[in-house]
Structure 1
Amino acid sequence: MSIQVYGCNHVAIEVGDIEKAVTFYEDVFGLEKLDEGEADAFFQLGEHQFLAMFEHRGMQPDTSDRHFGIMVRDDAQLAQVRHKLTAKYGLKLIEGFRCDFRDPWGNRIQVVDLHDESLIWLLPYREVQKAGVKFAD
């Protein structure tokens, strides 16, 4: 019998300050917090996934190319994220990408939108309808 993978359940990252990280991710992405503890927090990340954060004081920023991606609806939302990252938080975008950045703790995040129809299957149909995505015949 072969294994059937249904998707990604969660992504876990380390942050240097859990309270600041919660504020940052709520502000930049409007994520809904599911739960939090003394040194951790969990956010809804799409229909069936979540983002787990664990505080690790004194951590060194990651400089590798490891990353995870967050999908937003369209280019306008992508532009909002870029503006907030650069204007409000003073973060630099990684050149050569539409919206790759390192959060204040060095975690690399890639933000994409639905311009690529190969990503559309990730959304519930009602979200596809809301997004108004049209495909060529």
Structure 2
Amino acid sequence: MAVHVYGVNHIAIEVDDAKKAAEFYADVFGLEMLRGGEGAVWCKLGEHQFLAIFEVPELRPDRVKHFGLMVRDEGQIEDVRQKLVNKYKITLHPDFRCDFRDPWGNRIQVGDLSDESLVWLLPYREVQDLGITFTSNRTAGKEKKR
């Protein structure tokens, strides 16, 4: 029998202050805190995943490791961008729609449900309920900025 992966259960990041990190992620993304303790916090991501935030004594930011979060649309990406830049003074990566390092050095990319590269999401109820369709308006060989 072939293994069938349904998605990601959780993502774990390292910070030096779990409480401040939980406040940051709740503020920027509206994440609901599930539970926490002993230097760790769990935040609900969508319906079936979570973000685990672990407190460590020494931060070691990665060079290319990152994860992506999905928001509903371009308006929500813009809300995230504005909060990151104006409130937290975070510099966004210029080659992506919304790519940044959180205050602890974790790299995050934010996309939305209209990105046609996410066609594999179509079975999810929210995408279907929104009536999102994908059209090919790219020039061959040119990828739009994310």
TM value normalised by structure 1: 0.88
**In 2, Cα distance between equivalents of 1:34 and 1:57:** 23
**In 1, Cα distance between equivalents of 2:130 and 2:83:** 22
Note the residue ranges of structure 1 that are not aligned, 5 or more in a row: none
Does residue 14 of the first structure (1) align with residue 9 of the second (2)?
A: no
**In 2, Cα distance between equivalents of 1:57 and 1:99:** 29
Q: Which has the higher contact order (CA 8 A, sep 6+)?
A: 1
Q: Is the 8 A contact 2:12 2:53 kept in 1?
A: yes
Note the residue ranges of structure 2 that are not aligned, 5 or more in a row: 136-146
- 2:144 equivalent in structure 1: none
TM value normalised by structure 2: 0.83
**In 2, Cα distance between equivalents of 1:122 and 1:72:** 13
Alpha carbons of structure 1 residues 129 and 2: separation in structure 2 relative to 1, 3 Å: closer
What is the aligned-residue identity percentage? 58
- 2:75 equivalent in structure 1: 76
Post-superposition shift, 1:128? 2.4
Runs of 4+ in structure 1 over 6 Å off: none
**In 1, Cα distance between equivalents of 2:3 and 2:113:** 29
* Residue deviations 1:67-117 (CA, integer Å, cap 9, x gap): 000000000000000000000000000110000000000000000011223
Q: Which amino acid aligns with 2:21?
A: A
**In 2, Cα distance between equivalents of 1:57 and 1:85:** 25
Alpha carbons of structure 1 residues 76 and 132: separation in structure 2 relative to 1, 3 Å: farther
- 2:46 equivalent in structure 1: 46
**In 2, Cα distance between equivalents of 1:100 and 1:135:** 23
Q: Is the 8 A contact 1:26 1:32 kept in 2?
A: yes
**Match of 1:65, SS?**
coil
**In 2, Cα distance between equivalents of 1:10 and 1:36:** 15
Alpha carbons of structure 1 residues 35 and 87: separation in structure 2 relative to 1, 3 Å: same
- 1:35 equivalent in structure 2: 35
Q: What is the number of equivalent residue pairs in this alignment?
A: 134
